[in-house]
Structure formats: structure tokens, C-alpha cells
Homo-oligomer: A and B are copies of this chain.
Amino acid sequence: MPDILHRTGIKSPSPNEAYKALATIEGLSGWWTDDTQGDSKVGGVITFRFGSQSSFDMKVLELEPGKRVLWQVLDGPAEWIGTKVGFDLEQDGDWTIVLFKHQGWKAPTESMHHCSTKWAVFMLSLKALVETGTGRPYPNDVRIDNWR
């Protein structure tokens, strides 16, 4: 099954700031969508809303401070349901490396192509948030195509 993979490096002396941006509602609101709510603890459900365009409900499967965040999609587009979205952090000198994986896609659809590019844009938004204090979450995200 095809996966979406990305690698981003964040200039940061420790992985703590990136972890906070991935493991708290406030952090997630700063780079993915400003309409992020819910319970970010293990077993909790986080709801991500993008106006009337799209929405995702994620169950938090794993949290390892400074190391790893893993979600499973409970609700959203049919193709997304049941897939897993994970972020693994590694510190390399003064860089926090984020290895992103969205796994469990059943087919390499056109929508999957779109999501791959869009995840890259949001990973750079995460990088900007941690490095500068300002990300580009929806509705200020970078438009990539006619689907947005």
C-alpha cells in the first residue's frame, strides 16, 4: 500500500518545541488549521476543521514526548478513514528532523497525490511555526491546486 512520506528539518536546539506543536491543541492550531479542538491525550479525539471544505477526526494512538506522535483517522474523507498519520522526531545537532508518514492508503488516487503535496506544505508550516512563531495554518495555508 502506498504511503505519503516527508522529511522536514526545523532549526531548534531540542525536539521539545516541535513535539509541543504536534501534541497540543494550541500547537496544532498554529500550523494545520486554526479550527483544531478536542482532547490531545492518548485515546482522545482531535477534530480538525477546514471551513466547509474538509474535516478530519483523529484518535491519538501514541505519544512519546520529544519522539513520536501517531494518530488514526476516525472520520473524514472515505479514503482517509482507518489510515494512520505519524510524526517521528530525531534531534541532529541543532536540527529537529521530522519524519512524516501517512500510511494505509488503499490506492494511489489523484486525491492521494493532492494530499501528498498538501502535507508537504503543512510540514513547512510546522517548520515556520517552530522557527519563527508563525505558521501558515488553514485558512492562511498555501494553495497548491484547484482543490486548494
Contacts and interface: CB of A to CB of B under 8 A. Distances in A.
A83 to B, nearest CB: 15
A6 interface: yes
Interface residue range, chain A: 20 to 34
A116 interface: yes
Interface string A111-134: 011101100110110010000000
**Chain A interface mostly:** mixed
Contacts of A93: 146
Contacts of A9: 144-147
A21 B138 CA distance: 30
Given A5-B116, A6-B117, A7-B116, 15 more contacts: A2-B2, A2-B5, A3-B108, A5-B112, A7-B114, A7-B117, A8-B144, A8-B145, A9-B146, A92-B146, A99-B113, A117-B120, A117-B123, A120-B120, A121-B124
Interface of A: 2-9, 92-93, 95, 97, 99-101, 108, 110, 112-114, 116-117, 120-121, 123-124, 127, 142, 144-147
